[in-house]
Structure 1
Protein backbone atom coordinates (compact mmCIF):
# COMPACT_ATOMS: atom_id res chain seq x y z
CA UNK A 1 0.00 0.00 0.00
CA UNK A 2 1.32 3.43 -0.87
CA UNK A 3 0.58 5.91 1.87
CA UNK A 4 0.48 9.53 0.79
CA UNK A 5 1.40 12.14 3.34
CA UNK A 6 -1.19 14.92 3.30
CA UNK A 7 0.45 17.18 5.88
CA UNK A 8 3.31 16.94 8.34
CA UNK A 9 4.37 18.57 11.59
CA UNK A 10 7.65 18.31 13.53
CA UNK A 11 7.82 18.92 17.28
CA UNK A 12 11.14 19.00 19.12
CA UNK A 13 11.11 17.44 22.57
CA UNK A 14 13.54 19.00 25.03
CA UNK A 15 11.75 18.82 28.38
CA UNK A 16 8.39 18.09 30.00
CA UNK A 17 6.95 21.42 28.86
CA UNK A 18 7.09 20.11 25.29
CA UNK A 19 4.72 17.25 26.11
CA UNK A 20 1.77 19.67 25.88
CA UNK A 21 2.93 20.77 22.42
CA UNK A 22 3.22 17.13 21.35
CA UNK A 23 -0.30 16.30 22.54
CA UNK A 24 -1.68 19.41 20.83
CA UNK A 25 -0.01 18.48 17.52
CA UNK A 26 -1.19 14.84 17.78
CA UNK A 27 -4.76 16.03 18.43
CA UNK A 28 -4.72 18.41 15.46
CA UNK A 29 -3.59 15.74 13.02
CA UNK A 30 -5.96 13.12 14.45
CA UNK A 31 -8.91 15.48 14.03
CA UNK A 32 -7.82 16.46 10.52
CA UNK A 33 -7.70 12.74 9.62
CA UNK A 34 -11.28 12.36 10.86
CA UNK A 35 -10.56 9.99 13.73
CA UNK A 36 -13.41 9.46 16.17
CA UNK A 37 -13.05 10.87 19.68
CA UNK A 38 -12.13 7.40 21.00
CA UNK A 39 -9.55 6.83 18.23
CA UNK A 40 -8.15 10.32 18.77
CA UNK A 41 -7.85 9.77 22.52
CA UNK A 42 -6.06 6.45 22.04
CA UNK A 43 -3.62 7.99 19.57
CA UNK A 44 -2.87 10.97 21.82
CA UNK A 45 -2.45 8.76 24.88
CA UNK A 46 -0.02 6.43 23.10
CA UNK A 47 1.93 9.35 21.63
CA UNK A 48 2.05 11.16 24.95
CA UNK A 49 3.57 8.07 26.58
CA UNK A 50 6.20 7.80 23.84
CA UNK A 51 7.08 11.49 24.18
CA UNK A 52 7.38 11.05 27.95
CA UNK A 53 9.75 8.13 27.33
CA UNK A 54 11.98 10.48 25.36
CA UNK A 55 12.08 12.95 28.25
CA UNK A 56 12.76 10.11 30.74
CA UNK A 57 15.20 7.94 28.80
CA UNK A 58 16.88 9.85 25.96
CA UNK A 59 20.25 11.49 26.36
CA UNK A 60 19.54 14.94 27.70
CA UNK A 61 15.80 14.20 27.37
CA UNK A 62 15.95 15.27 23.75
CA UNK A 63 14.20 13.94 20.69
CA UNK A 64 11.50 14.80 18.21
CA UNK A 65 8.22 13.62 16.82
CA UNK A 66 7.11 13.93 13.22
CA UNK A 67 3.35 13.68 12.76
CA UNK A 68 1.76 12.97 9.39
CA UNK A 69 -1.80 12.70 8.17
CA UNK A 70 -2.06 9.74 5.78
CA UNK A 71 -4.36 9.22 2.83
CA UNK A 72 -4.60 5.98 0.87
CA UNK A 73 -7.06 4.86 -1.76
CA UNK A 74 -9.43 3.49 0.85
CA UNK A 75 -8.72 5.19 4.19
CA UNK A 76 -7.28 8.06 6.19
CA UNK A 77 -5.12 7.94 9.26
CA UNK A 78 -2.34 9.56 11.19
CA UNK A 79 1.24 8.43 11.85
CA UNK A 80 3.71 9.71 14.41
CA UNK A 81 7.43 8.93 14.37
CA UNK A 82 9.27 9.43 17.68
CA UNK A 83 13.07 9.61 17.45
CA UNK A 84 15.66 10.00 20.19
CA UNK A 85 19.41 9.66 20.54
CA UNK A 86 19.26 7.89 23.89
CA UNK A 87 20.90 4.67 25.02
CA UNK A 88 18.52 2.51 23.00
CA UNK A 89 16.53 -0.48 24.15
CA UNK A 90 18.79 -3.44 24.79
CA UNK A 91 16.01 -6.03 25.20
CA UNK A 92 13.02 -5.01 23.12
CA UNK A 93 11.00 -8.14 23.91
CA UNK A 94 11.23 -7.42 27.64
CA UNK A 95 10.48 -3.72 27.12
CA UNK A 96 7.21 -4.71 25.42
CA UNK A 97 6.19 -6.85 28.40
CA UNK A 98 3.81 -5.37 30.99
CA UNK A 99 5.67 -4.57 34.21
CA UNK A 100 9.18 -4.36 32.74
CA UNK A 101 10.99 -1.14 33.66
CA UNK A 102 14.58 0.04 33.77
CA UNK A 103 13.76 3.11 35.86
CA UNK A 104 11.42 1.77 38.54
CA UNK A 105 8.18 2.80 36.85
CA UNK A 106 5.11 0.59 36.43
CA UNK A 107 6.43 -0.64 33.08
CA UNK A 108 3.22 -0.07 31.14
CA UNK A 109 4.40 2.56 28.64
CA UNK A 110 5.44 0.69 25.49
CA UNK A 111 3.06 -2.26 25.88
CA UNK A 112 0.20 0.09 26.73
CA UNK A 113 0.93 2.32 23.74
CA UNK A 114 1.02 -0.73 21.47
CA UNK A 115 -2.46 -1.80 22.62
CA UNK A 116 -3.94 1.64 21.87
CA UNK A 117 -2.93 2.01 18.23
CA UNK A 118 -3.29 0.03 15.01
CA UNK A 119 0.36 -0.27 13.94
CA UNK A 120 3.63 0.11 15.83
CA UNK A 121 7.23 -0.46 14.83
CA UNK A 122 10.28 0.01 17.01
CA UNK A 123 13.86 0.25 15.82
CA UNK A 124 16.43 0.29 18.58
CA UNK A 125 19.59 -1.23 19.90
CA UNK A 126 21.84 -0.48 22.81
CA UNK A 127 23.77 2.74 22.25
CA UNK A 128 21.97 3.79 19.05
CA UNK A 129 18.80 5.57 20.14
CA UNK A 130 15.26 4.55 19.43
CA UNK A 131 12.68 5.20 16.73
CA UNK A 132 9.04 4.31 17.39
CA UNK A 133 6.42 4.71 14.66
CA UNK A 134 2.72 4.50 15.54
CA UNK A 135 -0.25 4.67 13.19
CA UNK A 136 -3.97 5.00 13.87
CA UNK A 137 -6.50 4.58 11.04
CA UNK A 138 -9.96 6.08 10.83
CA UNK A 139 -12.63 3.40 11.15
Structure 2
Protein backbone atom coordinates (compact mmCIF):
# COMPACT_ATOMS: atom_id res chain seq x y z
CA UNK A 1 0.00 0.00 0.00
CA UNK A 2 1.45 3.35 -1.02
CA UNK A 3 0.81 6.00 1.60
CA UNK A 4 0.50 9.63 0.78
CA UNK A 5 1.77 10.77 4.17
CA UNK A 6 2.69 9.28 7.50
CA UNK A 7 3.37 10.87 10.86
CA UNK A 8 5.55 8.99 13.35
CA UNK A 9 3.94 9.06 16.79
CA UNK A 10 6.54 9.37 19.53
CA UNK A 11 5.59 12.54 21.45
CA UNK A 12 2.32 14.32 22.23
CA UNK A 13 3.24 16.92 19.58
CA UNK A 14 3.09 14.16 16.96
CA UNK A 15 -0.61 13.69 17.80
CA UNK A 16 -1.15 17.35 16.85
CA UNK A 17 0.86 16.88 13.63
CA UNK A 18 -1.23 13.82 12.67
CA UNK A 19 -4.46 15.73 13.30
CA UNK A 20 -3.24 18.63 11.16
CA UNK A 21 -2.27 16.30 8.33
CA UNK A 22 -5.72 14.67 8.48
CA UNK A 23 -7.46 18.03 8.42
CA UNK A 24 -5.40 19.21 5.43
CA UNK A 25 -5.92 16.04 3.38
CA UNK A 26 -9.65 15.88 4.18
CA UNK A 27 -10.00 19.54 3.16
CA UNK A 28 -8.11 18.85 -0.11
CA UNK A 29 -10.50 15.98 -0.85
CA UNK A 30 -13.50 18.24 -0.38
CA UNK A 31 -14.89 16.99 2.94
CA UNK A 32 -17.15 19.48 4.72
CA UNK A 33 -16.23 20.95 8.10
CA UNK A 34 -18.30 18.37 10.04
CA UNK A 35 -16.58 15.42 8.36
CA UNK A 36 -13.20 17.15 8.73
CA UNK A 37 -13.88 17.34 12.47
CA UNK A 38 -14.90 13.65 12.56
CA UNK A 39 -11.73 12.66 10.73
CA UNK A 40 -9.41 14.74 12.92
CA UNK A 41 -11.12 13.42 16.07
CA UNK A 42 -10.64 9.84 14.89
CA UNK A 43 -6.97 10.50 14.05
CA UNK A 44 -6.44 12.16 17.42
CA UNK A 45 -7.89 9.14 19.23
CA UNK A 46 -5.83 6.64 17.21
CA UNK A 47 -2.61 8.65 17.62
CA UNK A 48 -3.23 9.10 21.35
CA UNK A 49 -3.71 5.34 21.74
CA UNK A 50 -0.36 4.72 20.04
CA UNK A 51 1.32 7.29 22.29
CA UNK A 52 -0.29 5.98 25.50
CA UNK A 53 -0.21 2.22 24.96
CA UNK A 54 2.50 1.41 22.43
CA UNK A 55 4.96 4.26 23.02
CA UNK A 56 5.57 4.68 19.32
CA UNK A 57 4.02 3.95 15.97
CA UNK A 58 2.66 5.83 13.00
CA UNK A 59 -0.50 7.23 11.50
CA UNK A 60 -0.68 7.13 7.70
CA UNK A 61 -3.25 8.96 5.62
CA UNK A 62 -4.07 8.18 2.01
CA UNK A 63 -6.59 9.41 -0.53
CA UNK A 64 -8.42 6.42 -1.97
CA UNK A 65 -10.80 5.68 -4.83
CA UNK A 66 -12.92 2.52 -4.91
CA UNK A 67 -15.86 1.75 -7.15
CA UNK A 68 -16.15 5.39 -8.18
CA UNK A 69 -16.12 6.63 -4.58
CA UNK A 70 -13.44 8.91 -3.15
CA UNK A 71 -12.40 8.77 0.44
CA UNK A 72 -9.70 8.97 3.05
CA UNK A 73 -7.96 5.94 4.53
CA UNK A 74 -6.31 6.22 7.94
CA UNK A 75 -3.97 3.45 9.06
CA UNK A 76 -2.68 3.58 12.62
CA UNK A 77 0.00 1.00 13.36
CA UNK A 78 2.39 0.23 16.16
CA UNK A 79 4.64 -2.51 17.46
CA UNK A 80 3.34 -2.21 21.01
CA UNK A 81 1.97 -4.85 23.37
CA UNK A 82 -1.07 -5.57 21.20
CA UNK A 83 -4.66 -5.90 22.36
CA UNK A 84 -5.53 -9.17 24.09
CA UNK A 85 -9.31 -8.73 23.97
CA UNK A 86 -10.48 -6.69 20.97
CA UNK A 87 -14.16 -7.25 21.86
CA UNK A 88 -13.55 -5.66 25.27
CA UNK A 89 -11.84 -2.53 23.90
CA UNK A 90 -14.71 -2.15 21.42
CA UNK A 91 -17.25 -1.87 24.27
CA UNK A 92 -18.60 1.62 24.85
CA UNK A 93 -17.24 3.14 28.04
CA UNK A 94 -14.28 0.75 28.31
CA UNK A 95 -11.13 2.61 29.29
CA UNK A 96 -7.77 1.67 30.74
CA UNK A 97 -6.42 5.24 30.78
CA UNK A 98 -9.17 6.83 32.87
CA UNK A 99 -10.27 8.78 29.80
CA UNK A 100 -13.83 9.19 28.59
CA UNK A 101 -13.77 5.76 26.97
CA UNK A 102 -14.97 7.05 23.59
CA UNK A 103 -11.85 5.37 22.28
CA UNK A 104 -12.06 2.82 19.51
CA UNK A 105 -15.87 2.49 19.51
CA UNK A 106 -15.97 6.27 19.03
CA UNK A 107 -13.55 6.04 16.10
CA UNK A 108 -15.70 3.30 14.57
CA UNK A 109 -18.80 5.52 14.86
CA UNK A 110 -17.02 8.56 13.38
CA UNK A 111 -15.79 6.69 10.32
CA UNK A 112 -17.61 4.68 7.63
CA UNK A 113 -15.41 1.58 7.72
CA UNK A 114 -13.26 0.28 10.55
CA UNK A 115 -11.10 -2.77 11.03
CA UNK A 116 -8.64 -3.75 13.69
CA UNK A 117 -5.95 -6.41 13.75
CA UNK A 118 -3.82 -7.02 16.79
CA UNK A 119 -1.32 -9.64 17.88
CA UNK A 120 -0.29 -9.68 21.53
CA UNK A 121 3.42 -8.93 21.80
CA UNK A 122 3.63 -7.77 18.17
CA UNK A 123 1.38 -4.74 17.79
CA UNK A 124 -1.83 -3.38 16.38
CA UNK A 125 -3.02 -2.04 13.05
CA UNK A 126 -6.28 -0.13 12.70
CA UNK A 127 -7.72 0.91 9.34
CA UNK A 128 -10.53 3.43 9.11
CA UNK A 129 -12.15 4.92 6.00
CA UNK A 130 -14.34 7.98 5.57
CA UNK A 131 -16.11 8.23 2.21
CA UNK A 132 -16.86 11.51 0.53
CA UNK A 133 -20.65 11.93 0.33
Band of TM-score, shorter chain: over 0.9
Partner of 1:30: 26
The answer as to whether partners of 1:65 and 1:81 remain within 8 angstroms in 2 is yes
Partner of 1:11: 7
The unaligned stretches of length 5 or more in structure 2 are none
Q: What is the aligned counterpart of 2:93 among 78, 86, 99?
A: 99
Per-residue deviation, residues 23-43 of structure 1 (Å, max 9, x unmatched): 111011111211111111111
Partner of 1:46: 42
Instruction: Provide the TM-score with structure 2 as the length reference.
Output: 0.93
1:83-122, aligned counterparts within 5 Å?
83-122=77-116
Partner of 1:126: 120
Per-residue deviation, residues 73-120 of structure 1 (Å, max 9, x unmatched): 422110010001111110000100012123333322111111000001
Output the CA distance in 2 between the equivalents of 1:69 and 1:101: 31
The unaligned stretches of length 5 or more in structure 1 are none
Output the CA distance in 1 between the equivalents of 2:100 and 2:61: 27
Let me know the Cα RMSD of the aligned residues: 1.6
Instruction: Provide the TM-score with structure 1 as the length reference.
Output: 0.89
The answer as to whether partners of 2:95 and 2:103 remain within 8 angstroms in 1 is no
- Number of residue pairs aligned between Structure 1 and Structure 2: 133
Flag the 1:33–1:104 CA change in 2: closer, same or farther, 3 A.
same
